[in-house]
Amino acid sequence: MKKRVGVLALQGAFREHRQVLEHLGCDVIEVRKTNDLEEIQGLIIPGGESTTIGKLLQIDEMGEKIKELGTQDLPIFGTCAGMILLSKTIINSDQYRLSLMDTVVERNAFGRQVASFETDLLVPAMGPNPLRAVFIRAPYIREVAPNVGILAEYDGKSVFARQGNLLASAFHPELTPDLRVHQYFLNMIDEL
């Protein structure tokens, strides 16, 4: 049976995630309102502006509903802005967040847009071949609790992590043709 996966579609690169998921055979729901969250088996929070998405999440307490689903083991994958929103602590910021992952995240940690880059990233959990990873005004994970597993590091900085049903990447797997990261997330739905 097809998996029914939600992509938060308030702002950002949600269309790219939608296309990857459809390519992998999922039914995709664009989540704009709280009742769009019903009956999804997983949720992706896309790249975009974390402050913008955070403000839109506060309307009709949609963020609180996502938080509730996240604590009830709904698989959630956040890329870039999504990683920021999943984190409990954001350095130097009191912006809205979902506070689901036991991570400390620093925003714009590699500098402004002129410092944005793409690189080959080794992710042992995805096999021996490196992933092409695109970092755009990217954050990184500065600290984690012991229950968080680090899946990849770049330049000594944690950029990919999993905590149970939660997955977070500082880079954008939806901007490259490599499907492994999304496939990994869909496998999490099967495991949980």
Partner 1 sequence: MTDIGSLKVKTGLAEMLKGGVIMDVTTPEQAIIAEEAGACAVMALERVPSDIRAEGGVARMADPTIIQSIMAVVSIPVMAKARIGHFIEAQILEALGADYIDESEVLTPADDSYHINKHDFKVPFVCGCRNLGEALRRIGEGAAMIRTKGEPGTGNVVEAVRHMRTVMSEIRALTLMPKEELMSAAKDMGAPYDLVLYIAEHGKLPVVNFAAGGIATPADAALMMHLGCDGIFVGSGIFKSGDPKARAKAIVLATTHFKDAKILAEISKDLGQPMSGIEISTLTDSQRMQERGW
Task: Give the three-class secondary structure for 171.
Answer: coil
Active site includes 172? yes
Paired sense of beta strands 117-121 and 131-135, if any:
antiparallel
Q: With binding defined as CB under 8 A, does residue 48 bind partner 1?
A: yes
Q: With binding defined as CB under 8 A, does residue 23 bind partner 1?
A: no
Task: Give the three-class secondary structure for 20.
Answer: helix
Active site includes 106? no
Contact 137, 112 (CB under 8 A): yes
Active site includes 182? no
**φ, ψ at 173 (rounded to 5°):** -65, -15
Query: Nearest distance from residue 81's CB to partner 1, in Å?
Result: 7
Q: With binding defined as CB under 8 A, does residue 115 bind partner 1?
A: yes
Q: With binding defined as CB under 8 A, does residue 52 bind partner 1?
A: yes
Spell out the alpha helix ranges (H) of 58-138. 62-71, 81-86
Paired sense of beta strands 27-31 and 101-106, if any:
unpaired
Q: With binding defined as CB under 8 A, does residue 119 bind partner 1?
A: yes
Q: With binding defined as CB under 8 A, does residue 117 bind partner 1?
A: yes
Q: Which parts of this chain interact with partner 1 (CB under 8 A)?
A: 9-16, 32, 47-49, 51-52, 55-56, 59, 80-81, 93, 95, 107-108, 111-120, 134-137, 172, 175
Residues classed as catalytic: 80, 172, 174
